[in-house]
Amino acid sequence: MSELLAVSAESESWVESAQSLAAELSLPFIGAVPATDVDTYRQVLEVGETLQLRATGRKAAGPVWVDFVGGAVAHRRKFGGGKGQQIAKAVGIRSGLYPQVVDATAGLGRDAFVLATLGCEVTMLERNPVVRVLLMDGLRRLRRAAESDPELAAIAARLTLLDSALPAAQWLAAQPPQSVPVVYLDPMFPQREKSAKVKKEMAAFHQLVGADEDADALYEPAYAACYFRTVVKRPRTAPFLAGRQPSLSLQGKSGRFDVYTRHGMNRDALSGRLNPADKLNPAEPE
CATH superfamily for domain 71-279: Vaccinia Virus protein VP39 (3.40.50.150)
| pLDDT for the residue numbered 186 | 95
Q: Is 158 annotated in some ligand binding site?
A: no
CB-neighbour burial class of residue 228 (10 A; exposed 0-12, middle 13-18, buried 19+): buried
- Longest CA–CA span in the chain (Å) reads 59
Q: Is 181 helix (H, G, I), strand (E, B) or coil?
A: strand
Spatial separation of the C-alpha atoms in residues 104 and 122, rounded to whole Å: 10
Spatial separation of the C-alpha atoms in residues 2 and 4, rounded to whole Å: 6
Task: Classify 119 in phi/psi space as left (phi over 0), alpha (psi -120 to 50) or beta.
Answer: left
Spatial separation of the C-alpha atoms in residues 118 and 85, rounded to whole Å: 10
Task: Specify whether the CB–CB gap between 176 and 279 falls below 8 A.
Answer: yes
Instruction: Give CA separation, 18 vs 8, 28, 33, 57, in Å.
Output: 6, 10, 12, 20
Condensed to tens digits (0 to 9), the pLDDT of residues 139-187 reads: 999 999 999 999 999 999 999 999 988 999 999 999 999 999 999 999 9
pLDDT mean over 204-227: 85
Spatial separation of the C-alpha atoms in residues 107 and 238, rounded to whole Å: 19
**What is the CA angle 220-111-50, rounded to 5?**
125
Task: Specify whether the CB–CB gap between 107 and 132 falls below 8 A.
Answer: no
Spatial separation of the C-alpha atoms in residues 148 and 75, rounded to whole Å: 19
Nearest 5°: phi and psi at 255? -145, 180
Residues 6+ apart with CB under 8 A from 186: 103, 105, 107, 111, 232, 233
In the predicted structure, residue 285 carries a pLDDT above the cut 50: no
Range(s) within the chain of domains with CATH label 3.40.50.150: 71-279
Which of 272, 247, 267 is CA-nearest to residue 257? 247
Q: Is 258 annotated in some ligand binding site?
A: no
Q: Is 273 annotated in some ligand binding site?
A: no
Condensed to tens digits (0 to 9), the pLDDT of residues 65-85 reads: 999 998 777 767 776 667 889
| pLDDT for the residue numbered 1 | 39
State the Rg of the chain over Cα. 19
Q: Is 147 annotated in some ligand binding site?
A: no
Q: What is the pTM of this model?
A: 0.89
Q: Is 111 annotated in some ligand binding site?
A: yes
Q: In what order do the strands lie in the sheet with 122-124?
A: 159-161, 122-124, 101-103, 180-185, 226-235, 255-261, 248-251
| pLDDT for the residue numbered 212 | 64
Condensed to tens digits (0 to 9), the pLDDT of residues 249-267 reads: 999 888 999 999 999 987 7
| pLDDT for the residue numbered 61 | 82
